[in-house]
């Protein structure tokens, strides 16, 4: 059976992806920082497929390397890596943001992604034809907006890292995709606003955002394409979201 390693599997896109790949019979290697959520997910999905849960902070390079290099043979060879762990913080203007929040986003969205990718590459290369690295980017990596500051910059890194990995992996058979969602209704805004449920509700009110299951379906599609096909970047928005005009600062009338 093919196997997939999903980081940040305890909520949102990661949890939905675990459920989607389990439905198709894939073996699951699931990481997250919240043990109780990992336990619940294992209980739910282990009735369908083999499940290995790894309580893990992707920012800890030593822990990541140890965990991935020690995967049981039953979950090898590795077929797909989904780099989903990440977060946004501090939607305020840059000049009002705590430096700690910037560091947290960089450490998770960039350093964490690099840590996991570096550890998983040798395993993916052993099962190279049709193997996939699917990196969760964002439309924020391509389209700036007020309050995007380090979050948007970190997702721009995801895009360029994905492209450059493609260059290095040419000839190996390993595919790389930057999957960039737009507005999606998950715990994203709750995390970003540090638990402000009203702010989260207001963002999604009276519109139709993407759902975690929508992104999970695209992840499964990318992972199961014929092995000669690579989609470099897939940007997805809800129909009810589009770009805005340039902002212009004007003198008072």
Phi, psi dihedrals of residue 40, rounded to the nearest 5°: -65, -40
Q: How far is CA 71 from CA 35, 51, 61, 245, in A?
A: 18, 12, 16, 49
Q: Which residue has the tokens 């638990």?
A: 195
**Residue in the structure block whose two tokens are 């902070």:** 57
Verify cis geometry, omega within 30 degrees of 0, for the bond prior to 77. Answer: yes
Contact by Cβ (8 Å): 45, 22: yes
Q: In whole angstroms, give the CA distance from residue 80 to residue 67.
A: 16
Residue 179 pairs in a beta bridge with: 136, 234
Place of tokens 């599997």: 9
Question: Do residues 26 and 52 make contact, with C-beta atoms less than 8 angstroms apart?
Answer: no
151 catalytically annotated: yes
Of 151, 204, 220, 221, the active-site residue reads 151
Residues taking part in catalysis = 151
């Amino acid at each position: 059976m093919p196997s997939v390693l999903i980081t940040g599997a305890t909520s949102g896109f990661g949890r939905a992806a675990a459920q989607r790949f389990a439905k198709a019979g894939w073996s699951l290697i699931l990481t997250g920082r919240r043990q109780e959520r990992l336990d619940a997910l294992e209980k739910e999905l282990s009735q369908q497929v083999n499940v290995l849960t790894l309580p893990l902070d992707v920012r800890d390079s030593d822990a990541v390397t140890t965990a991935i290099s020690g995967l049981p043979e039953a979950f090898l060879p590795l077929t797909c890596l989904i780099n989903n762990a990440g977060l946004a913080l501090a939607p305020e203007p840059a000049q009002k943001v705590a430096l700690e929040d910037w560091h947290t986003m960089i450490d998770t969205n960039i350093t964490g992604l690099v840590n996991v990718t570096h550890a998983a590459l040798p395993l993916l290369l052993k099962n190279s034809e049709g193997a996939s690295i699917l990196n969760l980017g964002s439309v924020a990596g391509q389209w700036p907006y007020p309050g995007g500051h380090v979050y948007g910059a970190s997702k721009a890194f995801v895009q360029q890292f994905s492209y450059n990995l493609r260059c290095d992996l040419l000839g190996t058979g390993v595919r790389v995709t930057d999957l960039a969602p737009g507005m999606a209704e998950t715990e994203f805004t709750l995390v970003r606003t540090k638990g402000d449920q009203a702010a989260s509700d207001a963002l999604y009110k009276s519109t139709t955002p993407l759902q975690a299951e929508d992104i999970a379906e695209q992840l499964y599609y990318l992972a199961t394409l014929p092995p000669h096909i690579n989609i470099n970047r897939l940007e997805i928005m809800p129909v009810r979201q589009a770009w805005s005009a340039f902002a212009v600062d004007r003198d008072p009338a």
